[in-house]
Amino acid sequence: MFLRFLICGLFVISIGAAQSLANRYDHLGKILLFSSSSAPFPHPDRASGYAYGKKIFPSERHYQDSSVALFIPKNFSPGNSIDLVIYFHGWYNTIDSACVQFSLIEQFSESNKNAIFVFPEGPKDAPDSFGGRLEANGGLKNLVDDVLKILRESKITNAAVAGRIILAGHSGAFRVMAFCLLRGGLTENISDVFLFDALYGHTEKYAHWIEHSNGRFINIYTNDGGTKSESENLITDLKEWGIPYSQSEETSCSTDDLRKQRVLFLHSDLSHNGVIAQRRQFRDYLITSKLQPIYYVH
């Protein structure tokens, strides 16, 4: 596979984004930014761009970025396998803007988990949920293989396999996450799924994963984000199928609830964009996951 990579400024792919990402989080860990042929884009289905409403989103501006950002926290300890937290942004966003807007790297660092944060670029600044190459059979595995190769080449780890994988995403990320679950090639590795006001469709794929895995599913939804009815439909289906789940207001959900409940629906009083970081939700979901913590040596 074709790979180009940047290690904190040694090779510049997109000079503005690469330098700002690398410099911004130096105090928390190391950023690697690389270009992968297994990233979602470019993709033939967006070679002519994308039309939404009355506007055209040209391919050269929105569907040519094959960047994948990795964050390795300070004191990360490599093992025989590497746990990964893979995040997908929603509409009208990028890796860089989502990291800033939702404090993703800060929250990941605060969770103190011995894992690597992985953020592939999606449709860039576009109103589009298409997952590109990650919708293909084995698409997630191909991306993870590239991530592990870069980590080995960068002397971060010698591991050749992934351990636990957490999939997390906001809003329009629902589609690419659903395909990763169904046909990504690493379904058995996926330990958690976090949907941040994102259950707009492909609900049958999430239901299938919930029924056939032991992984934890957290779906936080709002009144006005457009996901309330679909979330309630899934709750009804699980009830009819006899699959245990928990349903509560976000403000009533304790840390113990996050840790003990396998399938959890949280209704939030926050805005569509408030459900990721306003209450440090991403951090808390990671803290209560089964990912191992970083152990500090004094």
The C-alpha angle with vertex 211 and arms to 242 and 197, in degrees rounded to 5, equals: 95
Q: How far apart are CA 287 and CA 200, in angstroms?
A: 26
The pLDDT tens digits for 243-259 are: 999 999 999 999 999 99
* pLDDT value for 21: 78
**pLDDT for residue 6 is more than 90:** no
Q: Which helix (H) or strand (E) holds 169?
A: strand 161-170
Q: What is the mean pLDDT of residues 17-36?
A: 84
Strand partners, 56: 51
Let me know if 248 is exposed, middle or buried by CB neighbors in 10 A (0-12, 13-18, 19+). middle
The residues near 151 (Cβ < 8 Å, ≥ 6 apart) are 32, 70, 72, 82, 116, 157, 159
* pLDDT value for 69: 97
Q: How far apart are CA 129 and CA 172, in angstroms?
A: 5
The DSSP line for 68-91 is: EEEEEETT----SEEEEEEEE--T
* pLDDT value for 15: 34
Give percent of the chain above pLDDT 70: 93
Q: How far apart are CA 6 and CA 75, in angstroms?
A: 21
**pLDDT for residue 108 is more than 80:** yes
The pLDDT tens digits for 39-68 are: 999 999 999 999 999 999 999 999 999 999
**pLDDT for residue 93 is more than 80:** yes
Distances (CA, A) of 125 to 17, 35, 121: 14, 18, 10
Give residue 20's pLDDT band: very low, low, confident or very high (50, 70, 90).
confident
* Residue 293: DSSP 8-state: B
Q: Name the average pLDDT for the chain.
A: 92
Q: How far apart are CA 279 and CA 90, in angstroms?
A: 19
pTM of the model: 0.93
- Residue 90 token pair: 């929603």
* pLDDT value for 1: 40
Query: Which of 111, 123, 100, 30 has its CA nearest to residue 281?
Result: 111
Higher pLDDT, residue 1 or 289? 289
The residues near 190 (Cβ < 8 Å, ≥ 6 apart) are 164, 165, 166, 167, 180, 181, 209, 213, 215
The residues near 245 (Cβ < 8 Å, ≥ 6 apart) are 235, 238, 239, 261, 263, 264, 265
**pLDDT for residue 7 is more than 50:** no
The pLDDT tens digits for 175-227 are: 999 999 999 999 999 999 999 999 999 999 999 999 999 999 999 999 999 99
Give percent of the chain above pLDDT 90: 91
Domains in the chain with CATH codes: 3-287 (3.40.50.1820)
Q: What is the mean pLDDT of residues 273-289?
A: 98
152: helix, strand or coil: helix
Judge whether 191 and 166 are in contact, CB under 8 Å: yes
The pLDDT tens digits for 134-182 are: 999 999 999 999 999 999 999 999 999 999 999 999 999 999 999 999 9
